[in-house]
Structure 1
């Protein structure tokens, strides 16, 4: 379809403030009536429920900078970032507390060097224009943890050297690209939940004599994988979860004073599952658990509570700066299949507009939420062994060979691509209720967003293992439909467990470029159109 044709379709397409009546069905037995449901797309809400422009993002370990941003990988990685439009790259993770910055050391994956920071700068230069706010920003993590046998170098002097001898020279003239210096990774673990020790170090590291004028990002906390009800009742140990008020009381003033182009925000981490789960069934990875409502409810709870705390301290809500499908570098057959894309797309909407499980109506207008999400990428087993393979949860797979060539898009990447191009920067975000008489339709999730030029988009995400047919009332004559679909090149017909994903039947090229979306123009008869959403598939319906 030509650009002119697409514009013509958009001009007449109608997803106005009307009721979308949906008939959702499985492959019911002959003679049985398919279950029915209705989806209501309510009127426009102007700027309420806005999704920030730099919402999407990725996180990579310092030990993998050469694999993603070395000379042979950089152009493709920059293309993979650029496909999403805008975003934030975070370089950090557990490696930032284990890898020393050594300004005079040869470049390797064992230490952080000025060459690593120059590689990051060169990648952003390849992606960014010269506007007031760059298309992509970067979070640079540095060590902040109690010194120990595995990190004898840690201390304010090390952080000062990282900033003064590494970051400042590498980013001279491009300071606006730096979203922040992240102080420590998951301090609730490294400090063994000793809040007083953490706050004392935070005061020392955040001093301008150490980190200069650059923005700082804290607290970068993690939490154990627990049901939200247990956290809410405070019946289980929760590390620093309930200590955010004390942390932000100490940190928010300096964070606001040193905010850069991306604003001042707090950050934390979330994983719904873990690769290992001894004696903790709730943590055990499976496709069913990953796509379950209960694990998404735990995400909603964490985001809503911490976003509220951040906003109360004058910060731009918070960023889910490290997340993915399962802690421990993901789970084979769960994190590296199409189910991860369906989960990731729904997760980004929930992060932007969390529905507090105890009181969903409390955030009906999507006024509280995260400012962004970063999907984490790591080695499959351990730092400094990249040749063993990619983490199962990686959204972007690096080249494991000594050539360290072009990274490639994994299933989860396509979720970020769809969200980045169709949702971020939009307004009027709302969850759209799917009411059905049959529980078999419970895995169908719907969200609405208003884009530019009066466009309205309805996202339908089928997290179930059966196809769903929707009869949608549309006031116009046509609508555009883009699809994120599981792809099984073996021909076995796998869906949620398919090893690949396509959008509009297309895939990212080997050089990281995206050939462009190719929506279908669906005719509307009598103000109704029928859309079938396959198992594990997501559809974006665009109209005016």
Structure 2
């Protein structure tokens, strides 16, 4: 791309002298329902988009026909964490007839489901956060699932930790706990499980994670109450959820709202206090469930290219804020979901004459892939950005003398133009790649990563890279379109 002579849309200056925090190698992950049953939320009542013409199948497939294409989509993101939880975690039951409240069981887990979880872990190289039902509030009943299903089908080293309950701050609203149900009450329920597991020779080998709070308890004080009450030494990981927008109750969300700078400012402010609370107690904290808007997202927004820009900014922001990882959620609500990173549909494998799958990489997945390529396992670098537009920029490197990756995200609803990037102590020819679409509301079929796209099996051709020479002042200049993010890779000064 030839840069124009106009004043730049943005100038970015990257400092390479001092490395910042290292982003974990397994920072990027998915949050998946344990089952398509027991979602507990109704169909979206608003507008529709072409992506909602078909209802997505469970991403992992079935125990009889695992979705190997989806496992490839997982592998593309490197080592990761697959969280199995969501509303179905507490609305679906193992051995439902023995549950204290069988009428709360909206679906049933079978032994094959756990075999499928294990296959996903083995095929992808990911570890699992496996959710157990806390709503039933019976540690002995949960132990039966753990000893007769989990332990028999999933190897211990495939499990990062067991997550007890999903969004317990909503338990009283759902009628599963008498109101008021406080964080202290939740600690008692959590500890009852923890103590029962500690006394069991099989269960005690698994680490615990929590509290998986989403709403009124998602604050530093209540998080501290949980960690202190349970005991930091009993927790492998602290988990919280975040949805700053919602389509619950038929509410609408626009692209402008999703990309608004104020939304990310609010995200960072909340994250700062939560991370500080966990760090003060020396426990890592993960954003274990998040997406663009709760209740399945907004058609034409959550499944559009705007979600890729939001997602990429969220990934880098979460890393800067100090989270140990981030898991984008999949929903299987009636009528379909708009925010799944990958949608899966039934297809017939004619060659093998058996059930197959068609997987569709959504715009959000492309953002996760770009983050993996540019940031996972690398150190953050400090930089300054000057722009009147809503443009976000980040830089990473593996070491002080290594290549530098600079990511620019154009979240502005209308601006485009020339950008100028200066990287200290780097003046060699760089490579430039674009994640782009014609418009912010473009859907998957129009999204490209370096000019190419993922196929149904999770494979992608070699992307196109532009060669960029620095100007006499050592600045890399190029045009950044409106609906686009750019990855500029500036080689090490020692590289030949």
For normalisation by structure 2, the TM-score amounts to 0.82
Q: Does structure 1 retain, via aligned residues, the 8 Å contact 2:184–2:225?
A: no
Could you tell me how far 1:459 is from its partner in structure 2? 0.7
Could you tell me how far 1:400 is from its partner in structure 2? 5.3
Could you tell me how far 1:38 is from its partner in structure 2? 3.0
Could you tell me how far 1:142 is from its partner in structure 2? 0.9
Q: Which residue of 1 aligns with 2:375?
A: 423
Which of 215, 229, 232 lines up with 1:250 in the alignment? 229
1:478 paired to 2:475 = no
Q: In the aligned structure 2, how far is the partner of 1:315 from the partner of 1:346?
A: 25
Q: Where do 1:125-524 residues align within 5 Å?
A: 125-128=122-125, 136-145=126-135, 147=136, 154-171=137-154, 174-191=155-172, 193-207=181-195, 208-209=198-199, 211-223=203-215, 242-256=221-235, 264-276=236-248, 284-316=252-284, 318-354=285-321, 369-379=322-332, 381-382=333-334, 388-389=335-336, 391-399=337-345, 403=355, 405-430=357-382, 432-436=383-387, 439=388, 441=389, 443-451=390-398, 454-465=402-413, 466-473=415-422, 475-486=426-437, 493=438, 495-500=439-444, 501-524=447-470
Task: Specify whether residues 411 and 109 from structure 1 end up closer, same or farther in structure 2 by C-alpha distance, changes over 3 A only.
Answer: farther
Q: Does structure 2 retain, via aligned residues, the 8 Å contact 1:117–1:167?
A: yes
Task: Specify whether residues 457 and 95 from structure 1 end up closer, same or farther in structure 2 by C-alpha distance, changes over 3 A only.
Answer: same
Structure 2: gaps spanning 5 or more residues:
37-56, 99-104, 174-180, 349-354
Query: SS of the counterpart of 2:264?
Result: helix
Q: In the aligned structure 2, how far is the partner of 1:530 from the partner of 1:200?
A: 58
Deviations 1:54-107 (A, max 9, x none): 1000111112495424244421011000011111111110100000013999xx
1:41 paired to 2:20 = no
Q: Does structure 2 retain, via aligned residues, the 8 Å contact 1:92–1:141?
A: yes
Could you tell me how far 1:167 is from its partner in structure 2? 1.1
Task: Specify whether residues 104 and 84 from structure 1 end up closer, same or farther in structure 2 by C-alpha distance, changes over 3 A only.
Answer: farther
Q: Report the structure, 1 or 2, having the larger strand content.
A: 2
Q: Does structure 1 retain, via aligned residues, the 8 Å contact 2:10–2:418?
A: no
Q: Where do 1:36-185 residues align within 5 Å?
A: 37-46=10-19, 48-64=20-36, 67-70=59-62, 71-102=64-95, 110-128=107-125, 136-145=126-135, 147=136, 154-171=137-154, 174-185=155-166
What is the Cα-based RMSD across aligned positions, in Å? 2.6
Task: Specify whether residues 252 and 454 from structure 1 end up closer, same or farther in structure 2 by C-alpha distance, changes over 3 A only.
Answer: farther
Structure 1: gaps spanning 5 or more residues:
1-22, 26-32, 129-135, 148-153, 225-237, 257-263, 355-368, 383-387, 487-492
Q: Does structure 1 retain, via aligned residues, the 8 Å contact 2:289–2:328?
A: yes
Query: SS of the counterpart of 2:94?
Result: coil
Q: In the aligned structure 1, how far is the partner of 2:421 from the partner of 2:12?
A: 8
Q: Does structure 2 retain, via aligned residues, the 8 Å contact 1:183–1:218?
A: yes
For normalisation by structure 1, the TM-score amounts to 0.75
Q: In the aligned structure 1, how far is the partner of 2:192 from the partner of 2:152?
A: 23
